[in-house]
Structure 1
Amino acid sequence: MPSPRDVLTPDALGLVQAVAQHGSFAAAARELGLVPSAVTYRIRQIEDALDVLLFDRSSRQARLTAAGDELLCAGQQLLQDIDAMANRVRRVATGWEAELTIACDSVLSQSTLMELAEAFYALEPTTRLRLREETLAGTLEALISGRADLALGVVVEPGTTPGVHSHELGDLRFVYAVAPHHPLAAATEPIPDEVLIRHRAVAIADSTAVRNNAMTVGVLAGQDVFTVSTMRSKLDAQLRGIGGGFLPEPLARPYLESGRLVAKEIQRLSSRSIRFSYAWRNVGPLGPGRALKWWLAQLESAATRLALLERHRAA
């Protein structure tokens, strides 16, 4: 009989994950290009080697048992460790990371970010670049959790978080805006809370995976809220008159100038400025790889930091 060490390979863990995700041996087989009997046989090999049942087969859907769930959780950590090891080995050999993941808050200029990515690829690096769009506390949380190596647009001060370095990106001014056909466009200013609360707010969902740490900004208690996932979606909703809310002034500027949005003073806060930072993880005694060094060097430029905050293109 094969031992656990013989059967617990990265491919085997991927197979368990595929069955768990699809809830079916047959569906997992289709995704992996295998026949269902091969999937069943390989799962049974793992179960025999561990002397446990990984899936409850009593219903039509394959469901993880408690033991299967534990294997999948531990296996995901093992796969992450293997990727990290490969990353370190490649950096020792070439100086380039195998992969660099950047979490960027959706409030920042996506066109500037793409220009930076274009310039990065012009170097012909061996590093795979991955961009994640995050919001509010989720940008820093992606970094702290290890899902990102660099975070742009951090709104929560990293403080004394072990292994995290940060630097100021800059201040961004926000304005409260509504469409010209929205009822609040004709409201007397400054608009008090008792008037504002009768109208829907458009808000961005915090992308943090730790829901207890999620942030809510600019919404009154008891107010109807339309929640979207990105700043671009929030802008679109406000242009359509679905609701009102704060927008980055540089993003709203062309629409304010063209009359497609109207800036309004509200009693609580007519405008506000938020300070953003960028942060990166300590990469140990080897120091930053060539990819992270390049991005950090670009961020040392005041012009680059300003472009990330202000150079938005109107749709």
Structure 2
Amino acid sequence: MIDALTLDQMRIFVAAVDQGSFSAAARKLGRVQSAVSQSIAALEANLGLALFDRSAKTPRLTRAGEALIKDARRVLQRADELKARAASIASDVEPELSFAVDPIFPHGPLIASLTALSAAFPKLPVTIFTENLGGSEQRLRDGVAQFAIAPMPLDSPRDLAADFLSAFDVAPVVSAEHPLAREPSPVSRATLEPYVQLVLTDRTPLTQNFSGGIVGHHIWRFADLSTRLEFLLAGFGWCNMPLHLVREHIAAGRLKTLELAERDPFQFRVHVMRMRGTEIGRAGRWLIDDLRRLIAACPEAYRAEPQPPS
């Protein structure tokens, strides 16, 4: 008889426990007391267990009732989540939001937007993949990410649709204790070449041959930004870094910006990419719009300080 269980019976069971009596549960649910009593009796019959001890004036939970009330609450919670998910899907909200983001994208606005997203879409599951270089594109091509927030590939594949999101200034930096920090400005390419350059490497085949920005003869490769930053701070070499990731270290004197003779202002231009023929759902569009708003509100956080004329 287990199949005869209904959500209504479990809601009445939980209401009777929470309200302390069958009569109070009936008032809470807007029903007559006899209907509440009959529903609980039917639930007990279906389960083959007595949930309440009725020997006293006010029914009390039996040991079986105490054990099953937790399960009943979980079942009702999952049922409510199912209904909320179905309502979201019916209103053009994707069943799950999954996207890839390059670690160069600033965490501050991303965290703020995701916090707001969880309030706007409280039942929406979210999966985030943080991938360097070609990793975000690879997640997109593998079909596990609905969109990617990352620099556009150099060859601009025709099967990718992309919308510009923002640009982040990049600067060559080195530990304040490194010999390069004591070189007079501007630093020539010949001066840079003997020193170790810390560069990112790709775990995917998409950008393994990428050599943009590499000028050193001695290269140390890293698979993630955070590890490279630790080695940069420890004085192992120099590298180009997004300014928003190192601005505090520069201000504190731990890192120094290098003024290069071959000055070529460089930016990471970040796009929202998706496979052509696919569309981003309502929650994804909401997140992207909020990110644009937050970044536009404080552009100075991601730009270099104006340089004096040479």
- Aligned positions of 1:97-136 closer than 5 A: 97-136=94-133
> Distance in 2 between the 1:92 and 1:184 partners?
56
Q: Distance in 2 between matches of 1:273 and 1:288?
A: 26
User: 1:96 — aligned with what?
Assistant: 93
Instruction: Find the residue that maps to 2:120 and give its secondary structure.
Output: coil
TM (norm. structure 2) is 0.60
Contact 2:151/2:268 (<8 A) preserved: no
**Pick from 248, 256, 259: which aligns with 1:265?**
259
- The verdict on how the C-alpha distance between 1:215 and 1:98 changes in structure 2, with shifts beyond 3 A counting, is farther
Assess if the C-alpha contact under 8 Å between 2:134 and 2:206 holds in 1: no
Q: Aligned match of 1:224 in 215, 218, 228?
A: 218
| Cα deviation code 1:127-185 (max 9, x no counterpart) | 321111112233233323323112113242684623x3321122222111111110111
Match of 1:198 in 2: 194
CA contact (8 A) 1:109 1:307 kept: no
Identity of aligned residues (%): 20
Do the aligned partners of 1:99 and 1:127 also contact (CA within 8 Å) in 2? yes
Alpha-carbon distance, 1:239 to partner: 1.2
| Counterpart-to-counterpart distance in 2, 1:157 and 1:211 | 10
Counterpart AA for 1:192? S
Q: Which moved more, 1:126-135 or 1:268-277?
A: 268-277
Aligned match of 2:282 = 290
Report whether the alignment pairs 1:173 with 2:165: no
* Structure 2 match to 1:153: 150
Partners of 1:240 and 1:269 in 2: how far apart? 25
SS in structure 2 at match of 1:122:
helix
TM-score by length of 1: 0.59
Give the whole-Å Cα distance in 2 for the aligned partners of 1:288 and 1:271: 33
Report deviation, 1:115. 1.7
Name 2:180's counterpart in structure 1: 184
Task: Indicate conservation of the 8 Å contact 2:138/2:206, yes or no.
Answer: no
Residue 196 of structure 1, CA deviation:
1.4
Per the alignment, residue 304 of structure 1 pairs with: 295
Alignment equivalent of 2:140, drawn from 116, 132, 143: 143
- Tell me the secondary structure at the aligned position of residue 116 of structure 1: helix
In 2, Cα distance between equivalents of 1:304 and 1:188: 35
Shift in Å, 1:275: 2.3
Distance 2:242 2:210 in 1: 17
Q: Does structure 2 retain, via aligned residues, the 8 Å contact 1:112–1:307? A: no
With over 3 angstroms needed to count, the CA separation of the structure-2 counterparts of 1:293 and 1:117, relative to structure 1, is: same
The alpha-carbon distance between structure 1 residues 99 and 282, as it changes in their structure 2 partners (threshold 3 A), is: farther
SS at match of 2:247: helix
**Which is greater in Rg?**
2
Distance (whole Å) between structure 1 residues aligned to residue 191 and residue 248 of structure 2: 27
Total equivalences in the alignment: 218
Give the superposed CA RMSD.
3.1
Task: Give a deviation string over 1:84-116, Cα, whole Å, max 9, x none.
Answer: xxxxx9986463323222111111112321222
Query: How far off is 1:277 after superposition?
Result: 1.6
